[in-house]
Amino acid sequence: MPHDHHDHDHFHHDGMSPSGHPYRADNDEPLSYWQCMEIAVRELLIEKGHVTPAEIAAQIEAMDARSPANGAAVVARAWTDPAFKARLLADASAASAEMGFDIGGLRLIAVENTGDVHNVIVCTLCSCYPRNLLGLPPDWYKTRAYRARTVKEPRKVLAEFGLELPETTQVRVHDSTADMRYIVLPARPAGTEGMDETALAALVTRDSMIGTGLPKTP
C-alpha cells in the first residue's frame, strides 16, 4: 500500500491529537528532500513576488476552517427545511453558499440516500473530494484499495467500513472523474423527530457524507 503516511498504530489512543489522529512528526524530524523542496519553492515564489507569506497563511487558515462540520450543517438544514433540501438537490453549490460557507469555485452535486438507495463517492483517477466544503480528504480516500475497489465491489468495501447493506438497497457509486464534486445527503435517522438543527448536525459524520458510513443515531 502506498505510504500515504508514516506508520500509525490505530489501536493506541494515547498520544492522539484532539481530532483523534496521530500527531504528525513535523518540525523536529530530520529535513527530507521534499520538505527542502517545499521551503525552496515557497521562498523563491515569495522573493520573486508571485505570492506573499500573508496569502499562504490566509490560504492555510481558510483550508483549516473547512471541516465536515460545514457539510453536517448543510445536511441538518436539509433534514429540517424541505425548501432548502429542494434547493440543495437542485444546486448544492448555491445552497452551501447560501448558508455562508466559502466554497470557492466548488461545483457540488448532492445525492440523496433514501430507504432504497445508498450513494457512495470515489475518485478512481486521483483524489477529487468536496474539499472546499468538507476540508481535506482522509488518507484512506486516496489509497489504491479504495480507489480501485469501490467501483467494482462497493458492497464489500462498505462492509469493511462496517456498513452492511441489504440486497434490496440499490448502491449508486459516483466516480468524480471531472469537474463536479459530490456529497451524500444521508437519510435522517429514525428517532430524531423534534431534534433541532444543531443537535441533528452533531449526528452527521464525515463518512456519512462520503457514503462509507451512516449518521449516528441519538
Q: Indicate if 36 belongs to the active site.
A: no
Q: Within a 10 A sphere around the Cβ of 63, how many other Cβ atoms?
A: 13
Q: Shortest distance, CB of residue 133 to other proteins, whole angstroms?
A: 15
Active-site residue identified among 93, 96, 123, 176:
123
For the four alpha carbons of 195, 97, 136 and 183, in that order, the dihedral sign comes to positive
Question: With respect to other proteins, which residue has the nearer C-beta, 21 or 216?
Answer: 21
Active-site residue identified among 36, 67, 93, 127:
127
Binding-site residues sit at 123, 126-128
Q: Shortest distance, CB of residue 78 to other proteins, whole angstroms?
A: 20
Q: Shortest distance, CB of residue 189 to other proteins, whole angstroms?
A: 22
Question: With respect to other proteins, which residue has the nearer C-beta, 145 or 199?
Answer: 145
> Which residue has cell 433541532?
196
Q: Indicate if 127 belongs to the active site.
A: yes
Question: With respect to other proteins, which residue has the nearer C-beta, 23 or 94?
Answer: 23
Backbone angles phi, psi at 101, to 5 degrees: -85, 135
For 54-93, give the DSSP string: HHHHHHHHHHHH--HHHHHHHHHHHHH-HHHHHHHHH-HH
Closest alpha carbon to 165 in 173, 51, 47: 173
Q: Shortest distance, CB of residue 177 to other proteins, whole angstroms?
A: 5
Binding-site residues for Fe(3+) sit at 123, 126-128
C-alpha 10/C-alpha 217 separation (Å) is: 24
Question: With respect to other proteins, which residue has the nearer C-beta, 25 or 199?
Answer: 25
> Which residue has cell 445508498?
118
Active-site residue identified among 32, 36, 67, 128:
128
> Which residue has cell 465491489?
153
Q: Give the cell for residue 199.
A: 443537535
Contacts of 145 (CB under 8 A, 6+ apart): 1
Write out the catalytic residue numbers. 123, 126-128
